[in-house]
């Protein structure tokens, strides 16, 4: 029979707190920058379109999408989706977010290897995430009941979460690089002045932190499963 070990909380609570803090920081940075109009009066969609044209990236559709901060780039569809708060807004927050997503389209056009690797991992990651979540709950329950089958289910979950962890690791350079491209391009192409950059950078850095928190969270789940698996052996 396996009993609950308080050590498991070390794999759950710190990642949870980091994730909550990262989300709070994003909201705070975005709200602050959303109250500051860009000096050029350029909107999110205009920012993305201007940067793509300036960088020679053609054939990208830019469309509004519902949801708060639901902005993303579809490499397979060659579509840049901007949330309604970003699409038509001329705040520094909107400019920064739109530039970041344009950065992903530029990565795609420049054949940035980590982005291609991340795209290739998406189907496998979706399966790994589903497998890991199901196996974590069922596996721990069966181990707690003293059933040998539990450790084999946990092993399958470990493999699933390992795939997800690899995906989150690959995502980090993709996101950091997109933000770097955005900061450089915004100034280089005259869309913002240098003294406007701190607010834009604040939004981009806060958003990047959420990806770090996601990586830590997946790592915590993976370590949790490894801990239980080793105890069950």
Instruction: Report the catalytic residues.
Output: 101
Helices 149-188 and 92-109 meet at what angle, rounded to 10?
110
Q: Specify the pairing of strand 72-74 against strand 79-83.
A: antiparallel
121 vs 117: CA distance, rounded Å: 6
Torsion of CA 212, 67, 103, 63, to 10 degrees: 160
């Amino acid at each position: 029979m396996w009993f609950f070990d308080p050590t498991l909380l070390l794999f759950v609570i710190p990642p949870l707190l980091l994730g909550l803090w990262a989300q709070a920081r994003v909201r705070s940075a975005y709200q602050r920058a959303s109250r500051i109009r860009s000096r050029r009066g350029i909107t999110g969609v205009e920012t993305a379109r201007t940067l793509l044209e300036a960088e020679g990236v053609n054939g990208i559709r830019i469309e509004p999408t519902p949801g708060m901060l639901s902005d993303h780039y579809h490499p397979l569809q060659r579509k840049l989706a901007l949330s309604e708060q970003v699409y038509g807004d001329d705040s520094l927050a909107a400019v920064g977010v739109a530039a970041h997503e344009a950065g992903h389209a530029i990565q795609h056009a420049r054949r940035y290897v980590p982005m291609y690797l991340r795209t290739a991992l998406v189907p496998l990651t979706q399966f790994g995430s589903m497998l890991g979540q199901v196996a974590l709950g069922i596996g721990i329950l069966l181990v707690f009941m003293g059933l040998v089958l539990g450790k084999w289910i946990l092993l399958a979950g470990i493999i699933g979460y390992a795939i997800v962890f690899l995906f989150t690791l690959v995502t980090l350079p993709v996101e950091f690089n997109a933000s770097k491209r955005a900061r450089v391009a915004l100034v280089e192409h005259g869309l913002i002045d240098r003294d406007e950059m701190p607010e834009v950078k604040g939004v981009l850095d806060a958003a990047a932190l959420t990806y770090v928190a996601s990586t830590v969270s997946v790592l915590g789940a993976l370590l949790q499963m490894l801990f239980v698996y080793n105890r069950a052996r």
